[in-house]
Amino acid sequence: MDCNKIVLIGAGNVATHLGLALPDAGYEVLQVYSRTETSARELGEKLGCTYTDKLDEVVSDADCYIVSIKDSALDEVLPKLVLRNRSALFVHTAGSVPMDVWKGLASRYGVLYPMQTFSKQRAVDFSVVPFFIEANSADDLELLRKMAAGLGSKAYEATSEQRRYLHIAAVFACNFTNHMYAVAEHLLSVHGLPFEAMFPLIDETARKVHELSPVEGQTGPARRYDENVINRHLSMLSDEPELARLYELISKNIHEYATKPKEGL
């Protein structure tokens, strides 16, 4: 068995970056499918392959079908997709979707989850992107491990249950953190200050967790629960009650983490 000929199901951020990287790893992308023709065409033309917005036109001679679409679309797409090639390997790239979403549909299936934030506008260095893989057979698990290695990445085996917690941890570490940047940008812009002034602080905070645990590296009024500063900040946010509630809740949680016994974290 091999996995050299690939069809991408989806044309979003993850599919785009995988599609651009797979040929350099020795894989051939035969086709791109997307529910919108414009998205399918855009990625298909970038990759120099065919494209379609119709599931019944997806090519039937691929070795592997990589599905990178919204979780809510899986129930509609997967049953029709599997009919295109019963002998192929089918994998999805979702962090929070169990492998068994394929059970009863495909005979060979798995998960290829790259834990990274992807935006079409930014290049991705897959050599620093960890992949978390799962498959219903040892042979196909090895094929996924080989694919990740070809991309220059390290692959870790993870069960569907473990991957669920990876995904929620990633939401806190990435999505919520980025939203805090958006809040900071808002507060600064309202008062005529540039967001770029935050860059050194953001960069040092990110560097610090490579050397200290996040709890050890925590600073600021919430860690020591300096009520004078906290109350002053809450007063400043009185005209934005949602941000005030967010500030108060996070401050309490930071202090709780700082005072918990380490084994309780």
**Which residue is it, tokens 């000929």?**
5
Q: In this predicted structure, what is the pLDDT of residue 223? A: 93
Q: Which residues contact 154 (CB under 8 A, 6 or more apart)?
A: 130, 131, 148
Rounded to whole angstroms, the Cα distance separating 43 from 33 reads 9
Q: In this predicted structure, what is the pLDDT of residue 123? A: 87
DSSP character at residue 195: G
Rounded to whole angstroms, the Cα distance separating 51 from 234 reads 53
Rounded to whole angstroms, the Cα distance separating 256 from 265 reads 10
Q: For each successive 10 residues of the chain (265 residues), what is the average pLDDT?
A: 91 94 95 96 96 96 96 93 96 94 96 92 89 97 95 93 93 96 97 97 95 94 94 96 97 92 55
Residue 167 CA from chain centroid, whole number: 7
Q: Which two tokens stand for residue 16?
A: 């785009």
Rounded to whole angstroms, the Cα distance separating 234 from 220 reads 15
Q: In this predicted structure, what is the pLDDT of residue 120? A: 86
Q: In this predicted structure, what is the pLDDT of residue 3? A: 87
Rounded to whole angstroms, the Cα distance separating 177 from 184 reads 11
Domains and CATH numbers, the chain: 5-158 (3.40.50.720), 163-264 (1.10.1040.20)
Q: Which two tokens stand for residue 173?
A: 């570490």
Q: In this predicted structure, what is the pLDDT of residue 262? A: 60
Q: In this predicted structure, what is the pLDDT of residue 75? A: 92
Q: Which helix (H) or strand (E) holds 132?
A: strand 131-135
